[in-house]
Amino acid sequence: MATNVNVTFKGGLGSVTARLFRNGEQIGIATTDKSANITLPDVQELDAISISGVSPNNGTDVSISAETDPSTPIHFKVGTIVKSLDVLKTNKNNLA
């Protein structure tokens, strides 16, 4: 299922890269340097999403449309962004 990674830069210049891993192998990558939705296609339960980049002066908010551990949204302060999230369910709105 396609999963959105919503990136909101709170001010200044920044960059975020989202990588999708399955069974330890990178199968998808997308980067943005402006506030945007990054779409990762074909996300499945037990995949991992890695978020990395640089956060501007007022920080960066990242939320993922799948249920993850740790949960999102996550606020990153100014500086380096490095976070790995495990996908628990691919649709937060359908947690049956």
Which tens digit of pLDDT belongs to each residue from 43-82?
Answer: 999 999 999 999 999 999 999 999 999 999 999 999 999 9
Q: What is the pLDDT of residue 92?
A: 66
> For residue 28, what pLDDT band results from cuts at 50, 70 and 90?
very high
> Is 74 within a domain?
yes
> Is 94 within a domain?
no
> Is 95 within a domain?
no
Per the structure, the complete domain to which residue 74 belongs is given by: 3-89
Q: What is the pLDDT of residue 94?
A: 44
> Is 79 within a domain?
yes
Give the residue with greater pLDDT, 95 vs 10.
10
- The predicted model scores a pTM of 0.89
**Quick one: which of 32, 34, 24 has its CA closest to 51?**
32
Structural domain count, the chain: 1
> Is 48 within a domain?
yes
DSSP state letter for 77: -
**pLDDT at residue 93 greater than cutoff 60:** no
> Is 72 within a domain?
yes
CA distance 41 to 29: 10
> Is 75 within a domain?
yes
> Is 96 within a domain?
no
Are the beta carbons of 20 and 43 closer than 8 angstroms?
yes
Are the beta carbons of 50 and 83 closer than 8 angstroms?
yes
